[in-house]
Amino acid sequence: SLVTSHHLRHVESMSRLPSGCGKISHLNAIILGESLASEENDLVFPSPEFSAQALVSSPEQYRQMYKRSIEDPAGFWSEIASQFYWKEKWDPEVYSENIDVRKGIVKIEWFKGATTNICYNALDRNVEAGNGGKVAIYWEGNEPGQDGQLTYAQLLEKVCQLSNYLKHVGVGKGDAVVIYLPMLMELPIAMLACARIGAVHSVVFAGFSAESLAQRILDCKPKVVITCNAVRRGPKVIHLKEIVDSALTECAKYGVSVGLCLTYENQSAMERKVTKWQERRDVWWQDVVPKFSSKCAVEWVDAEDPLFLLYTSGSTGKPKGVLHTTGGYMVYTATTFKYAFDYKPSDIYWCTADCGWITGHSYVTYGPLLNGATVVVFEGAPSYPDSGRCWEIVDKYKVSIFYTAPTLVRSLMRDGDEYVIHYSRKSLRVLGSVGEPINPSAWRWFFNVVGDSRCPISDTWWQTETGGFMITPLPGAWPQKPGSATFPFFGVQPVIVDEKGNEIEGECSGYLCIKKSWPGAFRTLYGDHERYETTYFKPFPGYYFTGDGCSRDKDGYHWLTGRVDDVINVSGHRIGTAEVESALVSHPQCAEAAVVGVEHEVKGQGIYAFVTLVEGVPYSEELQKSLVLTVRNQIGAFAAPDKIHWAPGLPKTRSGKIMRRILRKIASRQLDELGDTSTLADPSVVDQLIALSDC
């Protein structure tokens, strides 16, 4: 049998976990089974040539550095931090923390009292070091042949002009600015311009709907919204400005009015004369920003002043505003980028993530630019005009570090090797993966076909909340195991705990928690410090709880097994089941809804919705479509359910709690594993649901 005893132990221990902390889904067990069954003993070594040139070239070197980072965090991080520019140094402590709720308010501070500016460190510092002529950004548009580039000196000028404009319209330190832009160069420019003047950016992924955008605007009340009129995504044109218009109209109903909508004219998608316009509120970027000076003094901010807010999904319907501050985040993103990708100044780096997600914040904008790297920013879709687009871009810019998500790997793998081998890809030297566990077969294809069996893969495990990588290979140091994120980054102490919160040693499975803080940790949930403590620090007092399950094998490698709460991971995007449910029940014909994740060949997890209709409403295909459309309109296309399953009733306990365990089994057709249904208020609903499975 392929199933090892380790795997069995995992499944057993997970099925005993307490309900209050969430459940482990079937998918996780499958991924883990595949990993541990055949891969636990499978080591893939970096080549001796790679290791010889690597920043960390052996397990011994890693162990030494790691040991120091744990035994002397203050010394370790202050040495690294000294490579950045600080207007004033921290004094006297490097960090202070209380992450134990039993000892009072949770509070994390790094480099407190120091003043710095992340934009200065990313741009001015590199220009002053003589790298002003180095390309900072290569921009590749949706259409092949449409491209642009900016050197560090040019990027600095563009950022300064926007900073000056923002100051001119009254944006100052601590003010929020919402950015709703596609992957134009103007997106990182806008982020950096905010950071330069101490404003707090909140980037909203341009795939979110008007309602989701409105929800975020209502929460953080920005002075300005920055957008563009439209964008092309593959063959489609999306009218972003109209989405902003509806969001702002919605916000006005709640008494929040945003006085300025700075709109970039994205001519290749739409001309300004056909863009809907509201005089006084709407201003064309190109009409105002270039008039401002290309020099702008930096606003020095405290290391603990907020840098940005990024909304992410949790287990309730309301997104959480994850708040990151300046100094620790700066040091952490730069350092993780450097080591996990074995970065060298000659590298050309491409991360396919959108700046609307944390990956784009930390590893398109801040981490790479702080290292003076050349970054490729891609506006388009990875399979447009065909599935060879990524490799065409790799060859065009001689990309040496390519960082992407398992969902893209799986979808390109399905399209066939011919699209890959048509291109040389000989510039590649390091590959990276993020967003969800990468299944070993996708890992192997990525390694063998894309990387020609020569490029180590950094499978980086982290979260919006963590700011940067937490568990990740260092590509020259360790032999890898396909599907394992390997070992913790410097300064990170992962622990696996059982349902009572006891640390488990050695080979084991359980809940992944982190002991002690690290510089890139988020400091609060905007406006809701109590929710911050309840969600992350109360489930297992004394630790930060990640919401993920994890196994550690006999060699100490970590195997992430997915979320153990009511969050699903669709194509590497985090979606709360409660968010989708609340969108569904807003449909006038929907009485009740319950959403679960199911295994999906490409997306990792798909969204499966059980829907109870209002009494007397007949089932129809049209109604299914209209329910899906409601979710697209309320959240965004990426959250659209893959399946609507009609449910005359939902399986509930006598106290009214929906038993999702049963729904997950029905959704994944594991009907012989339904378990005990006798505690249900009405056990017959299960048979009814099974009967309706194929409708």
In the complex, the residues that contact ligand PRX under the rule CB under 6 A are: 312, 358-359, 433-437, 459-464, 485, 546-548, 560, 562-563, 569, 574
Longest Cα–Cα distance of the chain, Å, equals 74
| 3-state helix, strand and coil shares in percent for the chain, rounded to the nearest 5 | 35, 25, 40
Q: How many CB atoms lie within 10 A of CB 162?
A: 25
Q: How far apart are CA 277 and CA 487, in angstroms?
A: 52
- DSSP code of residue 221: -
CA distances from residue 367 to 203, 375, 469, 520, 565 in whole angstroms, order as listed: 17, 10, 11, 11, 29
Q: How far apart are CA 283 and CA 279, in angstroms?
A: 8
Closest to 572 measured CA to CA, from 627, 638, 656? 638
CA 183 to chain centre: 15
For the record, the structure tokens of 574 come out as: 């985090």
Residue 425 exposed, middle or buried by CB count within 10 Å (0-12, 13-18, 19+): buried
| Shortest Å distance, C-beta 233 to ligand PRX | 20
| Shortest Å distance, C-beta 361 to ligand PRX | 10
Residue 92 exposed, middle or buried by CB count within 10 Å (0-12, 13-18, 19+): exposed
In the sheet that 176-180 helps form, which strands lie side by side, from edge to edge?
282-284, 260-264, 224-228, 176-180, 200-203, 306-312, 320-325, 524-525
Q: Which is nearer to ligand PRX, 461 or 526 (CB)?
A: 461
For the record, the structure tokens of 148 come out as: 């642009």
Q: Which is nearer to ligand PRX, 116 or 458 (CB)?
A: 458
Q: Which residues, 6+ apart, have CB-to-CB distance to 62 below 8 Å?
A: 56, 474, 477, 478, 487
> How do 643-646 and 604-613 pair as beta strands?
parallel
Q: Which is nearer to ligand PRX, 363 or 378 (CB)?
A: 363
What are residue 457's DSSP bridge partners?
431
Q: Which is nearer to ligand PRX, 90 or 443 (CB)?
A: 443
Chain position whose Cβ is nearest to ligand PRX: 464
Helix/strand/coil for 164: helix
> How do 348-351 and 401-404 pair as beta strands?
parallel
Measure the CA dihedral 523/529/534/535, to 10°. Answer: -50
| Shortest Å distance, C-beta 491 to ligand PRX | 18
Q: Which is nearer to ligand PRX, 6 or 361 (CB)?
A: 361
Q: Which is nearer to ligand PRX, 142 or 605 (CB)?
A: 605
> How do 604-613 and 590-600 pair as beta strands?
antiparallel
Q: Which is nearer to ligand PRX, 229 or 460 (CB)?
A: 460
Q: Which is nearer to ligand PRX, 638 or 646 (CB)?
A: 638
For the record, the structure tokens of 591 come out as: 């009485």
Q: Which residues, 6+ apart, have CB-to-CB distance to 212 below 8 Å?
A: 204, 319, 634, 635, 636
Clarify whether 687 is annotated catalytic: no
| Shortest Å distance, C-beta 90 to ligand PRX | 28
Q: How far apart are CA 392 and CA 397, in angstroms?
A: 9
Give the active site residue among 124, 548, 565, 566.
565
| Shortest Å distance, C-beta 606 to ligand PRX | 16
Q: Which is nearer to ligand PRX, 57 or 433 (CB)?
A: 433
| Shortest Å distance, C-beta 425 to ligand PRX | 22
Residues tagged active-site:
565
